[in-house]
């Protein structure tokens, strides 16, 4: 799943659809989220590389030699890392609402918060409405989910509220999830590796109304991966809280590989 997001970020309707399509589904809590172990980041820092190796550890524990990987947001970057550096473990890759793993959005975001436009060649920052939301502190977790959802598809507030409540109830340390932001700022050469070496069948799924990573991020990612297909979902934002959207995304995942 994405930054600071537990395994339950994959909604049950999406999981059920994948199972009905013949897939065995493994969801897991990233380190510092949910029921997984939490540590002090200052004494135990980590990077995207380590989060990717966590995914391999989960597969190893389940005796899975190679898997169809589906990753959303941060999870999409983890999937790219694995497809580049551990290709023998990746049967297919579906990267959802994400950006090229080598893209560093930090400078662009900083300029956006300062009211400055991105530099030539930079991928666009979040939408102005989301930037305003983040600049004011983000409000409640439900407010943040609503802001990430975008303004085009209906927002399933009941599903989002249930997700937020369950997330808080099953978190060992809710504040530890912020460590993912710190990890995202620690860059390694492995994260900058070219995506042209990916051989796994790759599908890029993105929302036309994604306020966090505008569609240009997906349009930049897909051409970097040989043979990758790009599917833009009309109206989808940066989340799965629209009626019928989890099932639709699951159906798309099931098309990869062809």
Which listed residue (30, 206, 217, 238) is catalytic? Answer: 238
To the query of whether residue 234 is one of the catalytic residues in this protein, the response is no
Longest dimension (CA), the chain: 50
Q: In what order do the strands lie in the sheet containing 67-72?
A: 67-72, 90-96, 202-207, 229-233
| 195 CB-side CA count, 13 A | 25
Query: Which candidate, 193, 229, 228, 240, places its Cα nearest to that of 5?
Result: 240
Residues 6+ apart with CB under 8 A from 159: 11, 241
To the query of whether residue 238 is one of the catalytic residues in this protein, the response is yes
User: Which residues face 205 on adjacent strands?
Assistant: 96, 231
Which listed residue (99, 149, 210, 217) is catalytic? Answer: 210
Q: How far is CA 130 from CA 76, 83, 151, 186, in A?
A: 21, 31, 11, 24
3 state DSSP class of 183: helix
Q: What distance in Å separates the CA atoms of residue 159 and residue 39, rounded to the nearest whole number?
A: 30
Q: What distance in Å separates the CA atoms of residue 47 and residue 182, rounded to the nearest whole number?
A: 8
Which listed residue (68, 73, 92, 99) is catalytic? Answer: 73
Structure-block tokens of residue 76? 């999409």
Q: What distance in Å separates the CA atoms of residue 178 and residue 199, rounded to the nearest whole number?
A: 33
Q: What distance in Å separates the CA atoms of residue 232 and residue 215, rounded to the nearest whole number?
A: 8
To the query of whether residue 73 is one of the catalytic residues in this protein, the response is yes
Q: Which residues belong to the active site?
A: 73, 210, 238
């Amino acid at each position: 799943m994405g930054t600071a997001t537990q395994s339950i970020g994959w909604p049950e309707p999406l999981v059920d659809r994948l199972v009905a399509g013949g897939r065995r589904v493994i969801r897991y809590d990233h380190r510092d989220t949910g029921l997984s172990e939490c540590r002090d980041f200052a004494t135990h820092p980590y990077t995207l590389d380590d989060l990717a190796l966590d995914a391999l550890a989960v597969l190893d524990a389940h005796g899975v030699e190679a898997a169809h990987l589906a990753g959303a947001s941060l999870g999409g970057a983890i999937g790219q890392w694995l497809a580049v550096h551990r290709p023998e473990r990746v049967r297919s890759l579906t990267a959802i609402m994400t950006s090229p793993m080598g893209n560093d959005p930090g400078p662009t975001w900083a300029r956006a918060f300062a009211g400055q436009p991105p530099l030539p060649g930079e991928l666009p920052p979040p939408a102005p409405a989301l930037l305003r939301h983040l600049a004011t502190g983000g409000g409640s977790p439900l407010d943040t989910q609503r802001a990430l959802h975008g303004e085009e598809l209906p927002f399933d507030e009941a599903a989002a509220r249930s997700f937020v409540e369950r997330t808080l109830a099953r978190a060992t340390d809710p504040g530890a999830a912020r460590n993912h932001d710190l990890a995202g700022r620690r860059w390694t050469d492995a994260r900058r590796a070219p995506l042209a070496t990916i051989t796994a069948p790759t599908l890029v799924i993105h929302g036309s109304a994604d306020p966090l990573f505008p569609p240009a991020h997906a349009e930049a990612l897909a051409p970097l991966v040989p043979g990758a297909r790009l599917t833009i979902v009309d109206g989808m934002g940066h989340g799965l809280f629209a009626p019928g959207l989890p099932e639709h995304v699951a159906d798309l995942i099931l098309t990869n590989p062809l």
